[in-house]
A and B are shown apart, each in its own frame.
Chain A
Amino acid sequence: GAVVSQHPSWVICKSGTSVKIECRSLDFQATTMFWYRQFPKQSLMLMATSNEGSKATYEQGVEKDKFLINHASLTLSTLTVTSAHPEDSSFYICSAQKWTGGNSPLHFGNGTRLTVT
């Protein structure tokens, strides 16, 4: 159980276009979802935390107008990269937890490889 599905697994888009990435909890309700990105040979960096029904909380240095996060239901969060540029090319991965708290297990999607040309 506790499966998180992330879609698409990879996407190539042209500079200036927008890309939406979906993260779904398939067999549980996720009160909180986290979005990370990973540049080549770097670690995963937290971008934002989203709680269902609330505005996302963004980490310092992450542009909230560029990376739009929506968590409208307990099973779906989306990350939209608006007006993508080549420097946004990265590996994006989401994780979800059932309840709020540091001991709630975290479940990860398989990630999305974004390439902006």
Chain B
Amino acid sequence: KQEVTQIPAALSVPEGENLVLNCSFTDSAIYNLQWFRQDPGKGLTSLLLIQSSQREQTSGRLNASLDKSSGRSTLYIAASQPGDSATYLCAVRDSGYALNFGKGTSLLVTP
């Protein structure tokens, strides 16, 4: 069974810092990997989706990389802002077609 782990569980940084969130998964036979943002009490906002054949995806200040063979992905956030404060979820899609989620990284960006 696919296991998805996210490190760190929580992170607090001052505004303007660049930061990296880590995700690892146990079964490399995946279709794709997706990063989401979840605000307290809210649903999911898709940030980036990386297909299994891709190495990275970029959107604005966000960059996600994928190393499928080693079962790792990172989400890089440049020049963090207080509005980036949220929980970031990593999820992989494997043979069952559903997404397998990590527990998330709770990010707080302080002004």
Contact = CB atoms under 8 A, between A and B. Distances in A.
A103 B50 CA distance: 11
A108 interface: yes
A100 B43 contact: no
Nearest to B100: A46
Contacts, number: 53
B42 A110 contact: yes
B60 interface: no
Given A42-B103, A43-B89, A102-B31, A111 B43 contact: yes
B100 A49 contact: no
Interface string B21-63: 0000000001110000000011110100001000000000000
Given A32-B97, A102-B31, 11 more contacts: A43-B4, A43-B102, A46-B100, A93-B44, A102-B32, A106-B99, A108-B43, A108-B46, A110-B42, A111-B43, A113-B41
Interface of B: 4, 30-32, 41-44, 46, 51, 89, 91, 93-104
Contact of B101 (A44, A97, A100): A44
Interface string A9-45: 0000000000000000000000010101000001111
Interface size class of A (residues with CB under 8 A): 20 to 34
Interface of A: 6, 32, 34, 36, 42-46, 49, 91, 93, 95, 97, 100-104, 106, 108-111, 113
A4 B32 CA distance: 21
Contact of A43 (B31, B96, B104): B104
A97 B100 CA distance: 15
Contact of A97 (B51, B97, B102): B97
Contacts of B97: 32, 49, 97, 100-102, 104
B99 A43 contact: no
Given A34-B98, A43-B102, A49-B96, A103 B43 contact: no
A113 B104 CA distance: 19
Nearest to B45: A108
Given A32-B97, A103-B51, A106-B99, A111 B42 contact: yes
